[in-house]
């Protein structure tokens, strides 16, 4: 376990000696803290206090929803006092890793879903018990599990989609795909060729290649999976060789690079995909469900939500967003679990989904939500999440896989040999796994 801790700190650029300094910095002007009581706050929630960390310091709507839940819980009982500390998302993961090193994790923390296996294996998290009936009707992608145990639960998920103007597709004789009948890979490529041939678009497709970090595996590994490849062999998660660099993955990489060489998309997209789509610079935008509201407000009925193409193994989208769990060092685990059970009531799932305009986790909430209920304007996204969502590899190796895939995909877009680049990435991932004793518990 010590080897893993050193590796994780190296990856995030944090050392054990700087952990306390980082915690102090994160506890200053870059964070906000709220509470319904003036009781003393301890990092592990001692003395009846349960401290909550969230990445939402820069997200006023979501943070307000968190604070409403906390205020309601504190008012509902007098045994525990929950306090919130909000961090900017850019520094949040470093703060968690530093706190884990210093043994100063809070009782409750939110986390991006693909980090859950790594943090559970590293010993940061405690399993959540007594929540099975609460989450029975939740989207599977909103439950963070590792080795058969539940470690986190999310209030919502998001979904990837392509956006296009029906008027543009119809004018160019391009079929509007549906969840029941998505485009085939050949149809999608033919559509891009038609749109390019009009001369109206320098690049008819915007895949968001100017984005950084987790966007790359979240957005592009589902396209790889639709080709039949993957980031790692999911049978045991022990090796990427033969999978990430297999024939189907190479076919994806060759196609991905071809989007640039054929002039279908820019090597680096504009920084505001919504604006480029609205201004007619691009015809098809690849983005998330978060783009649906602003695009609908601007275009009304002349915007269509399209599923990703089927490149042979069905359409795929990334599954799993921000979720909530409990630290293993929490001194008030009964209070932490009590709060989490309270927070996952349908009324709070509804509050959070409304605040964020994201897909409610609960099917009961979704059925009543004006946007996501059957026939609602955004029901499409919940259908996608139910039918197409694929979790990023459920392994402690995922943070390394994510970084390695991002670098490799960027290199391929820039002209690196697909087979060679993928083979090197697969070897590096396998070496990482082997150096951590195959992540044996």
C-alpha angle 356/325/108, rounded to 5°? 90
pLDDT of residue 275: 96
Of the pLDDT bands very low, low, confident and very high (cuts 50, 70, 90), residue 25 is: very low
Q: What is the pLDDT of residue 39?
A: 33
| Beta strand spans in 26-79 (E) | 32-35, 49-54
Across the range 249-262, mean pLDDT stands at 98
Average pLDDT estimate for 271-283:
96
- Min mean pLDDT across 46-60, 74-88, 339-353 is at 46-60
DSSP string, 94-122: HHHHHHHHTT---SEEEEEGGGHHHHHHT
Residue keyed to tokens 């992608």: 141
Tell whether 172 and 128 lie within a shared domain. no
pLDDT of 134: 87
Do both 171 and 154 map to the same domain? no
* Cα dist from 255 to 181, 185, 227, 262, 272, whole Å: 22, 10, 10, 10, 24
Is 111 within the bounds of a domain?
yes
Tell me, yes or no, whether 61 and 141 share the same domain: yes
pLDDT at 33: 56
**Are 314 and 335 members of one domain?**
no
Beta bridge partners of 323: 111
Per DSSP, the residues of 331-350 read TTHHHHHHHHHHHTSHHHHH
Pairing of strands 389-391, 317-319: parallel
- Name which of 210-214, 223-227, 245-249 the model is least confident about: 210-214
Residues 152-181 have a mean pLDDT of 98
Which of 16-30, 114-128, 225-239, 389-403 is predicted with the least confidence, judged by mean pLDDT? 16-30
pLDDT, one tens digit per residue, over 368-381 is: 999 999 999 999 99
**Same domain as 182, residue 237:** yes
Q: Are residues 226 and 329 in the same domain?
A: no
CATH number of the domain residue 236 falls in: 3.40.190.10
Q: Is residue 391 domain-resident?
A: no
- pLDDT tens for residues 62-120? 999 999 999 999 999 999 999 999 999 999 999 999 999 999 999 999 999 999 999 99
Tokens of 420: 């060679």
Domain identity same for 115 and 222 = no
Q: Helix (H, G, I), strand (E, B), or coil: what is residue 50?
A: strand
Confidence of residue 184 (pLDDT cuts 50, 70, 90): very high
pLDDT above 60: residue 18: no
Arithmetic mean of pLDDT, 173-188: 98
The chain-wide mean pLDDT, for the chain, equals: 90
Structure tokens at 53: 């960390």
pLDDT of 58 = 92
Global pTM reads: 0.90
Q: Please say whether the beta carbons of 207 and 192 come within 8 A.
A: no
Asked if residue 291 and residue 142 are part of one domain, the reply reads no
pLDDT at 441: 61
Averaged pLDDT for residues 392-396: 97
The per-residue pLDDT for 40 is 32
Write out the two tokens for 145. Answer: 């599990």
Residue 32 lies inside a defined structural domain of this protein: yes
| Higher pLDDT pick, 33 / 171 | 171
pLDDT band for position 440 (50/70/90)? confident
More confident residue, 135 or 217: 217
Q: How confident is the model at residue 433 (pLDDT cuts 50, 70, 90)?
A: very high
Within a domain: 392: no
Q: Are residues 207 and 329 in the same domain?
A: no
pLDDT score for 20: 38
Measure the CA–CA gap between 92 and 424, rounded to whole angstroms.
30
DSSP 8-state code for residue 141 = G
The CA distance from 173 to 180, in Å, is: 20
**5-16: average pLDDT:** 36
Across the range 196-222, mean pLDDT stands at 96
Lateral strand order in the sheet of 304-306: 205-206, 284-288, 160-164, 304-306
Is 402 a member of any domain?
Answer: yes
Q: What percent of the chain shows pLDDT beyond 90?
A: 87
Q: Could you list the residue range(s) of the whole structural domain that residue 209 is in?
A: 160-319+397-439
Q: How far is CA 424 from CA 60, 219, 245, 392, 427, in A?
A: 42, 21, 8, 20, 5
| Same domain membership, residue 411 and residue 277 | yes
Statement: residue 27 has pLDDT above 80: no
Residues 154 and 180 in one domain: no
Total structural domains within the chain: 2
* pLDDT higher than 60, residue 175: yes
Average pLDDT over residues 346-354: 95
Residues 306 and 335 in one domain: no
Residue 308 lies in a domain: yes
């Amino acid at each position: 376990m010590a080897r893993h801790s050193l590796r994780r700190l190296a990856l995030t650029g944090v050392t054990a000696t700087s952990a306390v300094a980082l915690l102090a910095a994160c506890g200053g002007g870059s964070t906000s803290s709220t509470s319904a009581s003036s009781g003393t706050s301890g990092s592990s929630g001692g003395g009846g206090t349960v401290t909550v960390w969230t990445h939402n310091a820069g997200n006023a709507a979501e943070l307000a929803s968190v604070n409403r839940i906390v205020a309601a819980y504190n008012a509902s009982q007098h045994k525990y006092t929950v306090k919130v500390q909000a961090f900017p998302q850019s520094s949040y993961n470093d703060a968690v890793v530093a706190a884990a090193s210093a043994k100063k994790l809070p009782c409750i923390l939110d986390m991006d879903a693909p980090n859950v296996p790594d943090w559970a294996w590293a010993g940061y998290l405690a399993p959540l018990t007594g929540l099975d009936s609460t989450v029975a009707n939740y989207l599977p992608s909103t439950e963070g599990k590792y080795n058969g145990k539940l470690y986190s639960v999310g209030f919502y998920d998001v979904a990837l989609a392509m956006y296009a103007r029906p008027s543009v597709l119809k004018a160019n004789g391009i079929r509007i795909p549906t969840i029941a009948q998505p485009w085939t890979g050949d149809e999608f490529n033919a559509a891009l060729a038609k749109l390019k041939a009009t001369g109206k678009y320098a690049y008819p497709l915007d895949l968001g290649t100017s984005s950084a970090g987790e966007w790359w595996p979240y957005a592009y590994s589902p396209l790889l999976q639709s080709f039949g490849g993957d980031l790692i062999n999911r049978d045991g998660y022990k090796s990427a060789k033969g999978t990430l660099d297999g024939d189907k993955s190479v076919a994806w990489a060759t196609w991905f690079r071809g989007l640039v060489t054929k002039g279908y998309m820019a090597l680096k997209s504009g920084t505001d995909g919504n604006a480029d789509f609205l201004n007619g610079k691009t015809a098809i935008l690849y983005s998330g469900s978060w783009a649906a509201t602003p695009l609908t407000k601007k275009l009304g009925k002349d915007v269509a939500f399209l599923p990703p193409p089927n490149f042979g193994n069905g359409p795929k989208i990334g599954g799993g967003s921000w979720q909530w769990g409990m630290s293993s060092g929490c001194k008030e685990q009964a209070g932490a679990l009590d709060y989490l059970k309270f927070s996952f009531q349908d009324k709070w799932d509804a509050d959070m989904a409304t605040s964020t305009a994201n897909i409610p986790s609960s099917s009961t909430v979704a059925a009543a939500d004006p946007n996501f209920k059957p026939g609602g304007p955004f029901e499409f996204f919940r259908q996608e999440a139910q039918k197409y969502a694929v979790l990023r590899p459920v392994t402690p190796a995922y943070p390394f896989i994510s970084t390695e895939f991002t670098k490799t995909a960027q290199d391929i877009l820039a002209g690196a040999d697909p087979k060679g680049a993928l083979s090197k990435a697969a070897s590096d991932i396998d070496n990482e796994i082997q150096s951590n004793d195959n992540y044996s518990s």
